[in-house]
Amino acid sequence: MEDEFETRNGFPRSAASLANWRTQPFSRWAFRNTAELIPSARIATATPRPLPAVQRNAEIMSRPIGAANETVAWFLARSQTDSFLMARDGRIVAEWHAAGVDRGDPHLLFSITKSITALIFAILEERGLVDPALSVGMILPETRRSAYGDATLRDLLDMRVSIDFDEQYLSQGDYARYRRAMLWNPPLSSGADENLFALLCDLKKADAPHGGAHYYCSPNSDMLGAVIEKSAGRRVSDLVSDLLWKPLQAHADAFLTVDNLGAPRTAGGMSCRPHDLLAVGELLLNDGTAAGARILPQRWIDDMRHNGDAHAWADGNQADFLPEGRYRSQWYQVGGDSEAYLAVGIHGQFLYIDPPSRTVVVKLASQDEPQDDSLDRENLALFRRLCA
């Protein structure tokens, strides 16, 4: 079996570990088998079912893009894409997968998880179980001495928490400590690592007040998960299952990484099939309804799409990503003359929704670098061109 694995993936299974799983050549396999490396909770669907027939679209794949007339298919390969889906008006019009990638594999979404967590918050808010105006400390007293004690849930949702934390993915400082707490990195030999919630409660407030410039900080979304679990009295994985995955009639179960106490990595730990992520995009495109039933509140979608603070974004730490953008409720808006909005994860994960053209694009990848500004611009240009 080891020989078969190595033939398919280019390395023996024993070579993949927490020390290297986010780097090539291991990441293409690891991003589709994260639950084999990190403890994960199951997000069950009620209706496991086969995927639709493959829609290989030679016309779209052979379209020239960019100044060098590189085709869509060549760009997908060059940008280390694992799976690509495009739907228009609810119908899949193109599908592409890298060699060795099974279209039914659950792929790690990284920070697209944040955007899906926000959908659960939206449903709970509609049911009166959470209130964006409340402070985190009112719900979780353990946080009162941390950066989060006097931050509101709206501050969490919009990444406007004043916090002393450096989101540097390749650093050996704050972020490495954070990844050990979530069980994504090898533990310290001393055994002195915290669990995820203990780490969150230890993060300190920065000098500025909350509610200022946009400051992207993944721990905010993990704290949002803790708030959701405390407010609803249920695990996030079960809430996603019952409030989203089952009503959406997802094709297969999804997964969510957890720490050693079972705390969910709601900032980046969800894995699902590309087709089921596409269904999430279609749900939003259809104003929160699927199969004739309402799943998400319309007013929340309207608020998410139109009420991000452009000034907070322009003054924030991601302004270069979308020069005219906004951020609201863990979703990005392209801004300017575009009505498109999107969810994004490091290493090349995208869910892009363009209401005027009724287009949804899913692009899941295993890019070498966690963050690649030049490649981000190329991806966004591709999406705009496909939606034109």
Q: Write down the pLDDT at residue 356.
A: 98
Q: Write down the pLDDT at residue 86.
A: 98
- Does 67 score more than 80 pLDDT? no
Q: How far apart are CA 271 and CA 288, in angstroms?
A: 21
- Name which of 139, 88, 5, 82 is nearest 274 in CA terms: 82
What six digits make up the tokens of 297? 């509140």
What six digits make up the tokens of 249? 């009639």
| Interval 127-138 mean pLDDT | 98
Three-state secondary structure along 167-219? Answer: CCCCCCCHHHHHHHHCCCCCCCCCCCCCCHHHHHHHCCCCCCCCCCCCCCCCH
Q: Are 107 and 97 in contact (CB under 8 A)?
A: no
User: Which residue type occupies 309?
Assistant: D
pLDDT-derived band at 1, boundaries 50, 70, 90: low
User: Which residue type occupies 108?
Assistant: L
Rounded to 10 deg, the angle between the 274-285 and 112-126 helix axes is: 50
Taking the CA atoms of residue 212, residue 143, residue 176 and residue 264 in that order, the dihedral angle to the nearest 10 degrees is -100
| Interval 18-31 mean pLDDT | 97
Q: Write down the pLDDT at residue 92.
A: 98
What domains can be seen in the chain, in order of their start residue?
18-110+238-262+273-387 (3.40.710.10)
Phi-psi sector, 157: left (phi>0), alpha (psi -120 to 50), beta = alpha
Give SS3 for 268.
coil
User: Which residue type occupies 323?
Assistant: P
Percent of the chain with pLDDT over 90: 93
* pLDDT one-digit tens code per residue, 221-248: 999 999 999 999 999 999 999 999 999 9
Angle (CA) 144 311 268, round 5°: 55
| Interval 63-91 mean pLDDT | 94
Q: Are 132 and 231 in contact (CB under 8 A)?
A: no
* pLDDT one-digit tens code per residue, 97-124: 999 999 999 999 999 999 999 999 999 9
Question: Bridge-partner residues for 135, per DSSP?
Answer: 152
Angle (CA) 231 232 233, round 5°: 95
- Does 2 score more than 90 pLDDT? no
For the chain, how long is the longest CA-to-CA vector? 58
* pLDDT one-digit tens code per residue, 295-352: 999 999 999 999 999 999 999 999 999 999 999 999 999 999 999 999 999 999 999 9
